[in-house]
Amino acid sequence: MTIADARPFAEPLDRLKRAGLRPTRQRLALTRLLFGRGDRHVSAEQLHAEAKAARFVVSLATVYNTLNQFTRAGLLREVVVEAGRSYFDTNTSDHHHVLTVATGSLTDIPVGTLAVSGVPKIPEGLEVERIDVVVRLRPRV
Amino acid sequence: MTIADARPFAEPLDRLKRAGLRPTRQRLALTRLLFGRGDRHVSAEQLHAEAKAARFVVSLATVYNTLNQFTRAGLLREVVVEAGRSYFDTNTSDHHHVLTVATGSLTDIPVGTLAVSGVPKIPEGLEVERIDVVVRLRPRV
DNA sequence: AACAATATTAGAATGGATCTAAAATATCTC
DNA sequence: GAGATATTTTAGATCCATTCTAATATTGTT
Ligand SMILES: [Mn+2]
Ligand SMILES: [Mn+2]
Ligand SMILES: [Zn+2]
Ligand SMILES: [Zn+2]
């Protein structure tokens, strides 16, 4: 067991500090909710509701600010699955997703499982930032 | 040259009729704009502006209605690349996309070029509806 | 403690998308 | 073609996720 395992919040907070974000009460509470229980895919509204349920009142504006700052700092990844709603993913590794359209539930495909081949030549001056793969599921007919 | 080549609007309109949609003036005009010049990826706002520029005034509500009806009828495919905006794709074949994030421009990857392997087992009662792949490009550092 | 920098917040504003319900148009029946 | 019926179009209202504003609060520094 490493020190990181024993203090699961230490690493994100270190990265926060390195990103120039002060460890405020709000950011600490949201960090605990986000990173306290394994990989998650949450919307801003969901996280806001969770904070309220945990008796930690934080404004929706701060939830959005924090999620966007964390994303810019590389602590989170934004996943867009349908127009008008985005999920924030605590798993920032290079992985892909399965979306059950009917329920809106999003799950990870383990890293290294799914592979993409035959990516076309990229125009001069540009490079691949990321490849997003979403496997969309529907009820079997 | 086949008859379909000579009458490029005939096929979409036939499909429209088969889908139970009356060929109204608005739907005809939008069909011409959508399918008149090769594969396209347009937003509702864009199409609305194009109609206005072509001196065919149509309400934004009708543009949305039409795009959604066409999508349900299989004439168009909806592509979600960023939260808050969706594109309608006149290419309904099984293909993938390259997104230049900085400009928002979306281009097709030719069918058969890009391949996805290692899709995980799908839970009982569900099946793959579609696999969306978006190659996101950024300026080279 | 004093000060400057940064963060939080309520509420307003934005913008894409959908809804409403009344007027217009298309199709059907005779 | 006339009249009846079904569908479509439309302006404007409404929705809803997200961002913005600008006033207040907290944080880090000296
Ligand atoms: Mn964002
Ligand atoms: Mn839609
Ligand atoms: Zn994920
Ligand atoms: Zn396409």
Q: Is residue A6 predicted with pLDDT exceeding 50?
A: no
Residue of A nearest to B124 (CA): A140
CB B75 within 8 A of CB B93: no
Largest distance between two CA atoms of chain A = 52
Q: What tens-digit pLDDT sequence spans chain B (141 residues)?
A: 444 444 445 676 777 888 889 999 999 999 999 998 889 999 999 999 999 999 999 999 999 999 999 999 999 999 988 777 889 999 999 999 999 988 888 999 999 999 999 999 999 999 999 999 999 999 997
**Per-residue confidence (pLDDT) for residue A4, from 0 to 100:** 42
Q: Is residue A113 predicted with pLDDT exceeding 90?
A: yes
- The single residue listed with the structure tokens 């992985």 is A95
CB B112 within 8 A of CB A120: no
How does strand B105-109 pair with strand B115-117?
Answer: unpaired
- As a whole number of angstroms, the distance between CA A70 and CA A16 comes to 8
- As a whole number of angstroms, the distance between CA A40 and CA A14 comes to 20
Joined together, the tokens standing for residue A123 give 């125009």
- As a whole number of angstroms, the distance between CA A124 and CA A126 comes to 6
Which residue range forms the structural domain that includes residue B87?
3-137
Residues facing strand C, Cβ within 7 A: A 20-22, 24-27, 57-62, 65-66, 83-84; B 22-25, 43-45, 60-61, 64, 68, 84-86
**Per-residue confidence (pLDDT) for residue B10, from 0 to 100:** 65
- As a whole number of angstroms, the distance between CA A3 and CA B51 comes to 62
- As a whole number of angstroms, the distance between CA A76 and CA B9 comes to 46
Indicate if the alpha-carbon torsion angle A44, A106, B94, A111 is positive or negative: positive
**A136-CA/D17-C1' distance, Å:** 23
Largest distance between two CA atoms of chain B = 52
CA distances from B128 to A27, A135, A137, B96 (A): 38, 7, 5, 16
Q: Is B31 within 7 A of strand D by CB distance?
A: no
Burial of B67 by CB count in 10 Å (0-12 exposed, 13-18 middle, 19+ buried)?
buried
Please tell me the number of Cα atoms within 13 Å of B102 on its side-chain side: 9
Domain count across chain A: 1
Q: What is the CATH number of the domain that holds A55?
A: 1.10.10.10
CA distances from A121 to A37, A64, A127, B80, B137 (A): 40, 36, 10, 23, 11
**Per-residue confidence (pLDDT) for residue A18, from 0 to 100:** 80
Query: Comparing B28 with A9, which gets the higher pLDDT?
Result: B28
Lowest pLDDT segment from A77-86, A92-101, B33-42 = A77-86
Locate all alpha helices (DSSP H) within A21-133, ordered by sequence: 25-35, 44-53, 60-72
To the nearest whole percent, how much of chain A has pLDDT over 70?
91
Phi, psi (degrees; rounded to nearest 5) at B90: -80, -10
Query: Comparing A98 with A38, which gets the higher pLDDT?
Result: A98
Q: Residue A4's beta-bridge partner residues?
A: none
- As a whole number of angstroms, the distance between CA B70 and CA B64 comes to 10
Please tell me the number of Cα atoms within 13 Å of B9 on its side-chain side: 10
Q: Is residue A121 predicted with pLDDT exceeding 90?
A: yes
Residues of B in contact with A137 (CB under 8 A): 122-123, 126-129
